[in-house]
Structure formats: structure tokens, C-alpha cells
Structure 1
């Protein structure tokens, strides 16, 4: 931050509205006059400031127009409200004439705030509990609006609708006015215990932001019907603490942060003024927005917040710049970002000093342009010492060879032995071809029931929001889901330690698999869809094959000292990956489905530990995720210490770490894996989601390991509600404790749809990889299937069928 100008006035201007735009800045002089300075630097000579006279009372508010040509200035005092054409006034002054303005209002009281509309045709003047809408060309009061219970503090015209005005007041509410009817279209609830001070429109995503004197900010959607709903709430003090803690952790990674932290007196951080600025960092992220930065002028400095993530990017404190003439601010005037620079006019809180500051956005962007350079795609071949090389060894001495289940069995223990030749009549003809057989048409070969599973996933389809079917699993919580890769089957892990295997349409009776002693924490399909695994809180992992009621592999007993929180197949199904306690375990396995009818207790399948890696902080693993559809070295691990750790399995080490990624321990991490039916841009696969209780859902970019967006419209206070990314990469679904499932657009922080009609907390959500369908599971054991409105994706049944099954007990 550079101080371009410093002035000492004849009185304090700490609570007055000053004027600043990209070309000029203005401030009162001697109470009744005004000085207008040019913000454009002139190398040849310093231009004299323009002095404007015409008020008889003390000037209380000033503002510049939104247009660039001509530049208009509106000033207000108790006697007059005057409009000035700055360029015309400069011309008249150079000709030796007196600069004059146009009086548009007379004796409207003490005006505390002025605001132009986008076209500069109208001006809103806040005086007491009344807002006057005036014409900027003639002395005409267009509207007089009175409905607030306290004095007004700010007003702002809607940029995309000139007939909409929003006002804030000391009664701690904001109101949306329809200027055509001069009525209130929407009135907010009481937002805070402190008065609201400022309001700002964001035209890009049509949001409304308001701030209070205690540092609280609320971001609302602003739809056409003006029924605003809350997107996110921010607290400058809490964001500042998280930012400072993160900076200390980065500066002292070995634990020396506690020696650097000193006790500080907490001060209030009023939101005096806000302005949006463009983040012009040249990143290639598919879904990353580049205009979500918000500059907030407070009493102790300038705060830069990323609205997409609700996180504080940086703070520019006055105290850190010893060359500045002020230490505490009383009022701010902020211009728009032009030529990668922003201009601020700031008045001192306790002295009569006013300074003009300039900030280059490139200085802020440079701090955020560098990344970690990580990617889910491997950038180098396997190292000789990599634990992943174990999958390509030709000899595996510890794994038994596959043996036939009948060749080595004693003859006397069988009633029928094929090799004896006595069980059937002798053959008289070795081969007898069947001829003249009419081929019967088969309706089961390719039917409408599975036809949609053979087509590409529609990339432009709407979100699945139409209820299609539902059923009950017997009042047992549904903790986890996973569709098979072809989208034909779905695994459901329940709280009664069983696993149910359904068809994707949820029709027919499910196959029940039992064997665990505690709730199932995760399920995972193999790529060939011939076997799948289940992990449980009973410290065991089981691999099952289709058509068999007994597991092919049981891994547990004394192998793990703590429950398995998450498990899956990894590296094109060559490994088993699981987390237990602080250890990330990598196992080689060999599934042998043959069995000895006599020694059925002997397990022919084998498992061998390939690698065991401990988390950097020795914290217990709460969730993990890796991509098995192609060779990838990256494994994402979330710990009980609220961190995200990126493991490089090629090196067998922790490649990077994000400390304090959430305010609570992360219970869900989900990568954008796409599906075999959809195609996305390669960079999209570097996005992943994390969820934590009371801290919403965050989406991260693996290349920079920074949060790029945050979703917190859903309710998640105590239960581990899961989240999922659609195969097309456009939607995010999340469970919620208000008996609803929420569907978000990945490019926006506000939700698209709120799926109701659930009877209890929605714990699990998942998308079908082959067709636009969403499956939800609740705490009371109910499954509900939603489909998209873009055509009949369930062509075999277009009705809203309701199926139910009896209580499933082990």
C-alpha cells in the first residue's frame, strides 16, 4: 500500500462519507467547501486541486457517479444536495469563472449517505429513517421511502434493475425497495446485535453483501423475486484468527508457533466500506472464479476476503506500514480496480488527517500464483524403491498358486467322481452337431432396462431432482454407498454391520451379506465388478465375490489395533488401500475363488503387506481417497488433527500437508473421479471435496492445495453427512440434518435444489456413474432415488414407483 497524498483538515472527518473514484477523490474543506484531487499522476506538473463552493451548511456526505463520462459528484449538507460536473467545473475554473452545480434537493435534513444508480440518473439520499430518491438533472424528489425503525446507514441501487434499491439501518435489518410501487419487496430478519453499516451488490453472481459494526458479513442471493436467502456468513475476527494461525504454522512447522503467539487485545472490526476486486492470477482451473475477491475497509486496515471460500486471503494493517500518516481509520471511500490498481481515501479516526492510498492488485496476486505442482497424473516413472513396484514382480513366493478344487481330493469322500467314468453312460458319439434349430428372439439381450447404461453420460443434463422411487432397509442407518462402474448395482453399508446389494433401480429383493460385528464404514467395487470389499468398525476388512455368501478374504483380527475408517481398491485394483489409526496401509492381494470342499476353513486367497506409512503428525486417519481407474501416485488422507495430507505412494512419503483445513476433523474426502461414461477436462480430476461437522463442504484444487469454493447452506452439526461429485463434474450433492439433500452448482456457492421428502437426517449421497441419478440414504434406513428432468433416464419405468422391503436382519 502506497500513500499518494496526505492532508490535514480543519476538523475530523471520521464519520463522514468521502468520495473516491478511479479518476478523482474529494473531501470537505472548512466544512462548507470541497477539494477535488486527481488520482491520475502527472509527471510534468502537479495539478492544483479543484475547489468547489456553494453549500451554506457543513457537508456531511459526498459520492461520485458510476459513469466514466462525464464524472458527476453529489454533495449533501443540511441545506442543499448539489450535483457537480467535474470536467465542466474544471473548465470554468480555468476560464476564471466560478464553478457551479445543480441543486436537486433542499432542506432534507442531515444526509449521512449518498448513492448514484448505474446510469447516474437518480440519487438516493439517506437522512434519518428516510431515504429520498432524487433526479440528478433537476430538483425533483421522485420517491420518499420511510419504513425503517432506526436511522439509515447506507443505500445502494441494484446494478441490473434500476427500480430496486436496498437500504441498511441501525435497526439491524436491510430492506429491498421497489421504486415503481414505493413498497418494500423484502425485509430481512434482525441480522446482528450491532447496526448494519454498508451494503454491496455483486453483479456477476447476483449476490448482496451487508456488513455490521461488529465485523459480521452476510452474503445473500438476490433472485428476481427478491426473496433473498443466506449463502454464507463471515466473521472478520474469526477469519483473522484462522489466517494468523495458518501463517504461524507455515512459519514454524516444527512447533515453534506457540512462542511467537502473543496475547493481543481484541478490537472490533467494523465493516466501514466494501468493494469487489478482480483476482487476475493466471490459473487454468476449470471451475475457479477470478472475480470473487472482496476488499473490506475496517478501522485497523484493509481485509481481502475470498467470497468463494469465505476465507481471509490477506490483511494490510496500517501499523505494518510505518510511512502511513494514520493508524486507525474512521471512514473509507474505495474506487473500482482499474489497471490492476485500487485507490482508497481514508480518514483518521481520532485526528483530522485524510490520506489517499493506492494498492496494486498484482502484489496480492503474486502471493497466490505459486502452487505445489501436484497432480493426480503421474509425472515420472516408478522409482526402484517404490512400494508400487510390488505389483509388477513376476514371482510372489508368499502367495499360493491357484489349484483346482477337485484334482487333489481323495476319491472315497465323493459320491460322484468325473474321472472314474462310472457316473454316466459311455459315449457312443464324440460330437453331434445340432442343426435346423430356429433362433428364438431374446428380449433379455439388450432391453430398455439397460439401454441407458450403454450410452454416454449426458454432459448437459439437469441435476437429478425428481423423486423416482424409495424403499426401506429396516430402520438401520445407511453409512456408505457405492455404485458399480457400469451403474447397474449399488452397495449399501448399514449400521447393523450388514451390506445390501441392490439393482440400480432399487427393484427386487437385495442380496444380504453379513459377517461384520460392527457398523460398516466403507464399501468399494473393483474395476472388473467381480468382487468388492467392505470395511467395518470391528477392525476387519472383507473381500467378497459375486454369487458367494462367504468372503474370499478376511483381513483383521490382530492385524489392526484401531478401526478401519476407510478402505478401497487402488492402482488399477492391484492393491488394497486402507487407513487404520495413524497408518496408511498398502496390501497386495490375490483372490482365489476355488474352494476345497473338505478344508473349507482354509482360505486360498492371500494378502501381503506391501507398505505401511504413518501420517506426518501421527494423527488418526479419518478419511482417505485415491483414484484406481488409472495409475496415480496421489492418495489424499484426512486426519483427526483437521489436516489434509497428500501422500506420494511412488516415494512412500507425505508430499504436502494442509493444516487446519477445517475447524473440525474431516469425515469425508471425495475426488472428482468422473466415470467410464463421461469425459471431463484433465485438470478437473485435480478437484476434490472435504466435509466436516459444523464447517460445511469445501472444494480444493490439488495443484495449489487451496480451497477454491465453500458450500454451507446445508445443516451439519453432529452427524457425518457425506458429499459427492457428479460424473459430469457440474454438480455437488451433500447430505443434511434438516431431512433434505442439497444439490450445488460447482461454480456457485449457493445451492440449486433442496431435495425434501426425507424423514430423517440424510447421511449418504452418491451419483450413478452411467445416468443422471442421485441416491440418498438416511439415518432411519430409507433409500430415495432421484432422476433428472432432462428426459426419462429410467426408460424401463417412467412412473414414480414406491418399493419397500421388510426389515433386514442378520
Structure 2
């Protein structure tokens, strides 16, 4: 393949090595974040007062149900915090069960906003949409057009009618997924409209890594290897803003909240930046967040306009508050080690380096980020109060961290290769992971040994690129 991804040193500052034990880092969880997280994921004060007279002790699910039946809150139902507290104790760690098994690497697994659909994207030219409410039957089987290597990202419109999919190319394709046609073969059984993002100077090498719909569905925003953020107006069918955002590939871009004015971006230059489209100088960031030591692979917003997390090739997730950002980039010197995350392991001497100007609120360690742009997310607000952060990992596991303590609370093992993406159902205790072993699998909170799709371990087969993975139902 003629296209080769650009490498970059990350532009990180002169590092100071901290103690190899990172216990101090975990205990330094920001007090405000910890407090807000506990407020949304622990029983409210009225519930605690009515059941245990305010004593700080665990409340069983039976006690919560009894309190609801006796209407101790006076509202005839759980509060949102009570609901999150009851549900977050039932994490999706049982299984897994097979959703699909393909003969190519699974790169994407994403639930729709209402949880009714699951979208899986695979290397080659395949996207499948599953009906999560009808035993994971295939709702839409899409054969993509003009993919370069793989589906790099997908975005579902707010009305869940249109799917936008990107590749390592300058064109995003849009497909109507609600037209009643199960098979969608690009421009044969259904037209996949192409949206051109490059200009005359970009050439064939333009590659898109990240794509998001605006909340009103009228715009698409992308991050790409041309060091820029592009905003496409779907109604006028053209790129309306092209921001030279970073000094290296822009691997991640997302909206801060329900509005479409504030954007977060992350790049191989190791920086996270904040953009406000309401400002007069729309091509200049309103803030920079420094602390990572290598390229950013993904960003997820908490949805409140203040907090977001970023996954990074320095093998960490960091939690940020944009109210603590800087207006400019700190003067930096090149990092003291060289490596390529596509084929090398992370340098052991760099594992506990700390950026001298680290502005993050907390750092989460344990998972690994190698070979591909691995993704991380906040857990759902409805069922967990966003108490957790979860991520794929190149060590074939899904990691779940507690936001309030920074500790690993669960580690899901079954896959036999890199887990690039995973998605937690917005309302139910179900988590789906997608791996380079070709599997989409689901994890549940309860066991069901009678389900024939339950996967077992113990047998291996060799992946075409040399990775091994488990199989057998």
C-alpha cells in the first residue's frame, strides 16, 4: 500500500522521572471530580437518611427496593443517583457471548444513542448494523465504497437515519440505514453519497481518523493527517471551516456538550486543544491542555462542557478540566527516547515519566496502547452515573477504571488479539468489544450458560498477521 502514516516525536517537554510506584498518582484524584462522581453514583442523602439515618455504610439492593416500595423519598421511584448506585454494582463482566465472527479485524463497535442498534466496522469493506432489541439480528449489511485499508471511524446522525463512515482517504460516505433494504452494496443496491474533505493541495494522501455529527445533524467534523480539523456543512455540501489545529496528525475530535460550538481535539503532537466556534478568531484554539508524553489516540467528552478523557500512546488515560487549560503551548524540547508504537513495545524507562507541566486532573494506568488508535470512554450516565472509565487495550483485555479512586475494578479477558474499540449500552449492563481477532462479543452482568452463543476459551488459531486468538462456541 502506497500510503504511509506520518510519524511524529510528540513534541513533549523535557520529562522528569517519577517514582516507579504510581500509587501517589492514583491518590491524587481531583477532589471536585471525585465528589461529583460520587454524587451521581451513590444513594442520595434522603435515601440514606431514611434507611440508615445518615450512616456511611453500604446499602443493599434489597434495602433500596424496600425503600422505593415504602416511598421513602416521596416521589414513588428511585432518584437517578439511587438508580445508578443499584446498577453500577452489576457490571457487565460475565461471558462473553458472540455477536458476530468475521474473517477480518474488527475495528469499530458502537451503540446508537438509544441503544437499539449496534454498529460494527471491519477491515476491508464491511460494516454491519445489528438490532440489539431483536437478538442481535442484522439490521443492515453494508459493503463500503473506496475504503483504504479499513473503516477508520463511523458516526450515526442524531435521528439515527444516516451513517457516515470514513477511511484513510479524503472522502466520507453517507448511507441511509432506515430505508428497509437489508443489503447495502455501495452504489449498486444503494447510493453511498461521497463528501469530499480535501482541497487541491492535499492530494491522495489525505486520511480521516475521526468523524462526528453535530448535535443538530447538520454538520460533520473530522480530524485528519493533514494536521487539521475540517467542518462540513451537509446542507450546502461543502467544507465550511478548515482549521490548522496541530503540528501532527489529528487523531481525535469531538463536541464538548449538546451544543455544537465547543470542540476538543487530540493529536500526535501530544496536545489536547479546545476550540470555540463563537470566537472572533475561529482558527485559533481557546486553550491547550498539556500532560501527555506522546500521541493522543482518542478523546471522549463527559458531556458537561467541562471534563473529558484522552487515551494516549504513552500508555495512559488522562482526565481533564478545560477550566484549568492554558492559553498557549508551553515551550518544549524533544523527548528523550525514540520508538514507533506500530511495531515496538513502549520503552520501559519511559513508563513512569511525568510531564513537568502536567495539567491533567488524574492519570489512569494499566492498559496498553499499541499498533492502533485504541479508544476509551466514560461509562453511561443513566446506569452508572459515569462512575467508570473503560478502554480497549493491545494486551487483549477491556479495562474498567473507577473515576473516584483511579483503580482498576475489572479486567475482561477472552479476546486473542488487540481490542481497538468497545461500547457500553446506554441503559443496560451490556458491553460490546471489537477485536482484531475478528470477533464482536458482548459482556453481561448476569450469567446465561444456556445461551448457545457463549464463547469458551482453551483453543487457539493463528491470525493471518501472526496474532493468536481464541475461538469455539
Query: Does TM, normalized by the shorter one, top 0.5?
Result: yes
Distance 1:774 1:612, change over 3 A: same
Shift of 1:509: 3.8
Partners of 1:485 and 1:524 in 2: CA distance: 11
| Residue matched to 1:464 | 92
Q: Within the alignment, does 1:704 sit opposite 2:324 as a pair?
A: yes
Shift of 1:526: 1.1
Partners of 2:416 and 2:242 in 1: CA distance: 42
Give the match's secondary structure for 1:476: coil
Q: Within the alignment, does 1:767 sit opposite 2:432 as a pair?
A: no
Distance 1:551 1:657, change over 3 A: farther
Q: Within the alignment, does 1:511 sit opposite 2:151 as a pair?
A: no
| Residue matched to 2:218 | 574
Q: Within the alignment, does 1:691 sit opposite 2:322 as a pair?
A: no
Partners of 2:241 and 2:311 in 1: CA distance: 28
Distance 1:712 1:540, change over 3 A: same
| Residue matched to 1:340 | none
Taking the TM superposition and a 5 Å limit, the aligned residue runs for 1:153-172 are none
| Residue matched to 2:232 | 587
Q: Is the 8 A contact 2:145 2:192 kept in 1?
A: no
Distance 1:556 1:799, change over 3 A: farther
Give the match's secondary structure for 1:586: strand
Partners of 1:479 and 1:703 in 2: CA distance: 33
Q: Is the 8 A contact 1:489 1:504 kept in 2?
A: yes
Partners of 1:667 and 1:279 in 2: CA distance: 22
Count how many residue pairs are aligned between Structure 1 and Structure 2: 339
| Residue matched to 1:286 | 36
Shift of 1:738: 2.3
Q: Within the alignment, does 1:802 sit opposite 2:453 as a pair?
A: yes
Shift of 1:585: 1.4
| Residue matched to 2:21 | 218
Partners of 1:709 and 1:755 in 2: CA distance: 23
| Residue matched to 1:539 | 170
Summarize deviations over 1:184-204 as a string: whole Å, max 9, x none: xxxxxxxxxxxxxxxxxxxxx
Distance 1:282 1:542, change over 3 A: closer
Match of 1:638 among 266, 274, 284: 266
Partners of 1:672 and 1:282 in 2: CA distance: 14
Q: Is the 8 A contact 1:468 1:799 kept in 2?
A: no
| Residue matched to 1:554 | 194
**The structure with more radius of gyration:** 1
| Residue matched to 1:750 | 407
| Residue matched to 2:67 | none
Match of 1:721 among 352, 374, 396: 374
Shift of 1:284: 9.3
Taking the TM superposition and a 5 Å limit, the aligned residue runs for 1:410-421 are none
Give the match's secondary structure for 1:707: coil
Summarize deviations over 1:516-558 as a string: whole Å, max 9, x none: 3221111111111111211111221011112353345311385
Q: Is the 8 A contact 2:154 2:163 kept in 1?
A: yes
Partners of 2:413 and 2:20 in 1: CA distance: 29
Shift of 1:640: 2.0
Distance 1:490 1:568, change over 3 A: same
Q: Is the 8 A contact 2:292 2:314 kept in 1?
A: no
Distance 1:717 1:535, change over 3 A: closer
| Residue matched to 2:278 | 650
Greater relative contact order, per chain length (Cα 8 Å cut-off, separation 6+): 2
Q: Within the alignment, does 1:621 sit opposite 2:250 as a pair?
A: yes
| 5+ residue gaps, structure 2 | 1-16, 40-79, 185-189, 326-358, 456-473
Partners of 1:482 and 1:584 in 2: CA distance: 22
| Residue matched to 2:464 | none
Partners of 1:539 and 1:699 in 2: CA distance: 31
Shift of 1:803: 7.3
Partners of 2:312 and 2:367 in 1: CA distance: 12
Q: Within the alignment, does 1:671 sit opposite 2:301 as a pair?
A: yes
Give the match's secondary structure for 2:286: strand
Q: Is the 8 A contact 1:773 1:786 kept in 2?
A: yes
Q: Is the 8 A contact 1:498 1:516 kept in 2?
A: no
Whichever structure has more strand as a proportion of its residues is: 1
Partners of 2:401 and 2:31 in 1: CA distance: 25
Partners of 2:390 and 2:18 in 1: CA distance: 31
Give the match's secondary structure for 2:324: coil
Partners of 1:280 and 1:577 in 2: CA distance: 31
Q: Is the 8 A contact 1:773 1:785 kept in 2?
A: yes
Shift of 1:508: 2.5
Shift of 1:215: 6.6
Distance 1:216 1:772, change over 3 A: same
Summarize deviations over 1:21-65 as a string: whole Å, max 9, x none: xxxxxxxxxxxxxxxxxxxxxxxxxxxxxxxxxxxxxxxxxxxxx
Shift of 1:748: 1.6
Superposition RMSD on alpha carbons, in Å? 3.3
Partners of 1:280 and 1:775 in 2: CA distance: 29
Partners of 1:777 and 1:588 in 2: CA distance: 31
Q: Is the 8 A contact 2:394 2:419 kept in 1?
A: yes
Shift of 1:645: 1.1
Shift of 1:654: 0.9
Summarize deviations over 1:608-664 as a string: whole Å, max 9, x none: 22222211x443312111156x224210011221111111111223101124x3221
Partners of 1:283 and 1:557 in 2: CA distance: 38
Q: Within the alignment, does 1:737 sit opposite 2:394 as a pair?
A: yes
Shift of 1:666: 0.5
Partners of 2:30 and 2:112 in 1: CA distance: 41
Partners of 2:30 and 2:21 in 1: CA distance: 25
| Residue matched to 2:68 | none
Partners of 2:396 and 2:32 in 1: CA distance: 41
Q: Is the 8 A contact 2:247 2:269 kept in 1?
A: no
Give the match's secondary structure for 2:173: strand
Summarize deviations over 1:664-708 as a string: whole Å, max 9, x none: 1111111123xxxxxxxx5xx522111112422111122224311
Q: Is the 8 A contact 1:575 1:588 kept in 2?
A: yes
Partners of 2:29 and 2:397 in 1: CA distance: 35
| Residue matched to 1:496 | 124
Partners of 2:402 and 2:286 in 1: CA distance: 31
Partners of 1:782 and 1:494 in 2: CA distance: 10
Give the match's secondary structure for 1:645: strand
Partners of 1:714 and 1:281 in 2: CA distance: 24
Give the match's secondary structure for 1:486: coil
